[in-house]
Amino acid sequence: MYELVSASGARVACVVFLLLALGLAAGLYAVLVRASGGRAVFHEEPRVRGPVATVASLLLFAFLFGTVYATVLSGFYRVELHEEEVLLHYLFPSHVVSLPRVELAEVERVAMLPGRWSIRLHTHQGAMYPSALAQEPPAFQSWRALHAYLGGGKGDVSPVEFR
């Protein structure tokens, strides 16, 4: 079993990003609906009507949290290598995908951010299973084990070649 990302760390990151996106969306809503001017003689209308502000805030929330989810939190965080199958564990939503060994074509490693890597499993049918972003050491260990598992050698690639 190879763990690319700490499950508890990923959950904490999810909550932090969720609260941050929610706070920014609520802030946008407040800015859009508050009355302009401080002490006007006549009560002024809000800058934007409630439904429009709600939609704009929801779009901001979806964009911010969706971007973080798609780039950092999605993908498998743990991989288990068994004799005839590979199990990929996902956190969001929590589930396990079982792939027969004969269906797997190749494994690749992709540098995503400085010091952050993604492992991608490809099947013969063209499906791709990317991992969550992981730091270099666990990503390298997982890639090396999967590479050897698929018959690509004994996994004797050095970390320098991983870069």
The domain that contains 111 carries what CATH number?
2.30.29
| 155 pLDDT above the threshold of 50 | no
Residue 86 lies in a domain: no
- Strand arrangement, sheet containing 2-3: 2-3, 76-81, 85-90, 95-100
Residue 56 lies in a domain: yes
Task: State the residue range of the domain holding 143.
Answer: 95-162
Neighbours of 140 (CB within 10 A): 21
Residue 8 lies in a domain: yes
Q: CA–CA separation, 153 vs 29, rounded Å?
A: 56
Strands 2-3 and 116-123 turn out to be unpaired
Q: What is the C-alpha end-to-end distance of the chain, expressed in Å?
A: 23
Average pLDDT over residues 56-80: 89
pLDDT for 130: 93
Average pLDDT of every residue of the chain:
83
Q: CA–CA separation, 96 vs 94, rounded Å?
A: 7
Q: Are residues 30 and 66 in the same domain?
A: yes
- Please tell me the total count of domains within the chain: 2
Could you tell me the two tokens for 64?
């911010």
Note the residue count of the chain. Answer: 163
Average pLDDT over residues 62-78: 87
Q: Are residues 115 and 64 in the same domain?
A: no
- Which is higher by pLDDT, 3 or 49? 3
Residue 131 lies in a domain: yes
Residue 82 lies in a domain: no
Residue 41 lies in a domain: yes
- Which is higher by pLDDT, 130 or 68? 130
Report yes or no on whether pTM surpasses 0.75. no
- Which is higher by pLDDT, 51 or 96? 96
